[in-house]
Amino acid sequence: MSRSIDVIVIGGGHNGLSAAAWLAKTGRRVLLLEARPNLGGAAATEEVFPGFHFNTGAPDAGLFHPGLAGELGLHKYGLEFIKNDVAAFAPLADGRGLTLWRDAERSAMEIAAFSADDARAFLPFYQRTQRFAAVLGKMAALQPFALRANSLRVLAGWGRLALSLRGLGGRDMMEFLRVLPMSAAHYLNEHFEAEALKGLLAYPSTIGLMQGPRASGTAFMMLYQQMGQANGAYRSSLLPRGGVGRLSAALAAAAQAHGAELRTNTPVASILCEDGRAVGVRLGDGEEIRAKSVLSSADPRRTFLGLVGGPQLTPRFSRRLRSLKLRGSTASVHLALRGLPDFPAAAGDANRLKGAIVISPSLDYAEQAYDDAKHGRSAERPVLEARIPSLLDPGLAPSGQHTLSILVRYTPYKLAQGDWESEGERLGDLAVNTLAEHAPNLKSLVSNRHIITPLDYERIYGLTEGSEMHGQMGLDQLLLMRPTPGFIGYRSPIEGLYVCGAGGHPGGGLTGLPGWLAARQAAREMR
């Protein structure tokens, strides 16, 4: 290297790119290393079949923090979000369909067909969850505080959060604190009676954690998924034009514009430590690159046990990492379609298919799917989220054709019987068959199929145990408890090494926050 490097960022997912772009913008010399040939990690749009571009990881970018997008000026680098009125559409077994719109009043009218009481209850429910999600959103964007010795700036942020919590008013504040550790099922049962509505609303509550909607803490995830732009009491959802990968591309362009070097096809073999301090990395080909700080957007277990190595870690930290619950539980099935599938429940209105098409018809259905998964089986009746992004963005598929991606939830990384080498195709059939119950012509439209199992997410995308959240978002692994309690603030027992991926505060989802906050932390401590 002709010039010395300030920061090495490991991994070119959206968090790694966010960290690299922000650090480069502050004048640091940044080198980002990505093992795969393309950037984006689990925020990628890949041309899997010629002309067909799929969001192979996250299906949208609705949680991306607007403050970071603004600070990096991502719109200058081609980031544009497509307007979409639909939040979610649930085709049901009885032929009916339930659509949730961004406009909550419009949703209430749909809900009235299922329950007049629920329709009345929906608007106040929506308003309250918006208020709660807003507080949570503020918390997520705060620099984590330390147990000891906090800067005034960090404390002031948490002080302001306390004020906004107080600003909810006495009743709401107590309700907020009551709801956070609740189960989504319990919370929804308090408000609604229609199973179709509860099943649909519960779907986002188990994203990123291997739990059914009856598990404690799932109400939290329901709110977490709404931290971004308001979406009618459903998870925040925004699709960048050109696919989710455009977000990563814009981040990459911003990073390069500020002088960061981004190297793909460059796997890191280990993080070099000298006397308890990270001093650089060794690449897969043996080359050593030194830097003042190392930020790793790989998950904490891979970062510390894999790249740093057990013998460099303190015994207690190593034990914590080994007991980290990763537990990936999502597979995806990507279909190239000759035409748009017909969902009779949508009654010919293709607009309804522009959001998430969710198969989660009741709380019991979702819980039973989880029951299968917890015993190491793929759910017999899986919970699905399908997206047809080409409806919103025709450029993703050849003219008149479509891309359809299905996220298959409750797909355990660890199978009790068989392995993912052989079970993948069967999972693909199950997903397509389940969706085809609601779209009879679906199978006849499929021209190609690509399956990504939890094992593929581990092997190809580097997500240990296929955990897209770098550690499941259960009550014991939330926010400041990430990556492990006692090592708050992206720091580690290795000086100069920071976790800047979803394993850090606030957690998974395309927020960009772990990358941004870790970068700021590292910048302050850089020598």
Nearer to another protein, 319 or 524 (CB): 319
Kind and range of the H or E run holding 100: strand 97-101
Instruction: Give the shortest CB-488-to-another protein separation in angstroms.
Output: 17
For the chain, the first-to-last Cα distance in angstroms comes to: 20
Distance CA 308, CA 503 (A): 16
Q: Which residues contact 173 (CB under 8 A, 6 or more apart)?
A: 165, 166
Residue (91 or 300) nearer to another protein, CB:
300
Give the x/- contact pattern for another protein in 27-46, rule: CB under 8 A: --------------------
Q: DSSP label at 28?
A: -
Nearer to another protein, 286 or 311 (CB): 311
Q: Which residue, 455, 449, 443, is CA-closest to 411?
A: 455
Count of residues binding another protein (CB under 8 A)? Answer: 15
- The reply to whether 275 sits near another protein by the rule CB under 8 A is yes
**What is the smallest separation between the CB atom of 317 and another protein, expressed in angstroms?**
8
Spatial distance between the Cα atoms of 409 and 404, rounded to a whole number of angstroms: 16
Q: Which two tokens stand for residue 196?
A: 């179709």
Minimum CB distance to another protein smaller for 104 or for 497: 497
What number of H helices and E strands is found in the chain?
18, 18
| Residue ranges in 294-333 that form contacts with another protein under rule CB under 8 A | 305, 309-316, 318-319, 322
Q: In the complex, what is the shortest distance from the CB of residue 396 to another protein, in angstroms, rounded to a whole number?
A: 44
Q: Which of 78, 344, 398, 493 binds another protein (CB under 8 A)?
A: 493
Q: How far is the CB of 163 from another protein (least distance, A)?
A: 35
Is the bond preceding 506 in cis, omega lying within 30 degrees of 0? yes
Nearer to another protein, 26 or 314 (CB): 314
Query: Which is closer to another protein, CB of 284 or CB of 486?
Result: 486
Cβ at position 314, least distance to another protein in Å = 4
**Residue 110 one-letter amino acid:** E
Minimum CB distance to another protein, residue 306 (Å): 10
Specify which residues 359 forms β-bridges with.
384
Q: Is 272 in the site for another protein (CB under 8 A)?
A: no
CA-to-CA distance for 251 and 297, rounded, in angstroms?
Answer: 15
Helix or strand holding residue 131 (H, E): helix 116-140
Q: How far is the CB of 521 from another protein (least distance, A)?
A: 21
**Packing angle, helices 195-202 and 363-374, rounded to 10:** 50
- In the complex, the smallest distance separating the C-beta of residue 319 from another protein, rounded to whole angstroms, is 5
Which residues in 286-297 are b (16+ Cβ under 10 Å) and which e? eeebebbbbbbb
Determine the Cα–Cα distance for residues 235 and 225; give it in Å rounded to an integer.
5
Closest separation in Å from C-beta 309 to another protein:
6
What residues between 413 and 442 interact with another protein by CB under 8 A?
Answer: none
> Which of 520, 485, 481, 484 lies closest to 500, judged by CA?
520
**Site for another protein contains 394 (CB under 8 A):** no
Min CB(321)–another protein separation in Å: 9
User: Given phi > 0 = left and psi -120 to 50 = alpha, else beta, which region is 285?
Assistant: alpha
Q: Measured from the CB of residue 518, what is the shortest distance to another protein in angstroms?
A: 23
In the complex, the smallest distance separating the C-beta of residue 322 from another protein, rounded to whole angstroms, is 7
| Amino acid present at 25 | K
User: Which two tokens mark 231?
Assistant: 């979406």
Give the residue, chosen from 27, 124, 159, 276, that forms a contact with another protein under the rule CB under 8 A.
Answer: 276
Angle ∠(48,454,412) on CA atoms, nearest 5:
145
Nearer of residues 258 and 320 to another protein, judged by Cβ: 320
Q: How many CA atoms lie within 13 A of 201 on its CB side?
A: 27
Cis peptide before 91 (omega within 30 of 0): no
Nearest to 225 by CA among 88, 383, 53, 368: 88
Is-cis flag, bond preceding 483, omega within 30?
yes
* Residues in contact with another protein by the rule CB under 8 A: 275-276, 305, 309-316, 318-319, 322, 493
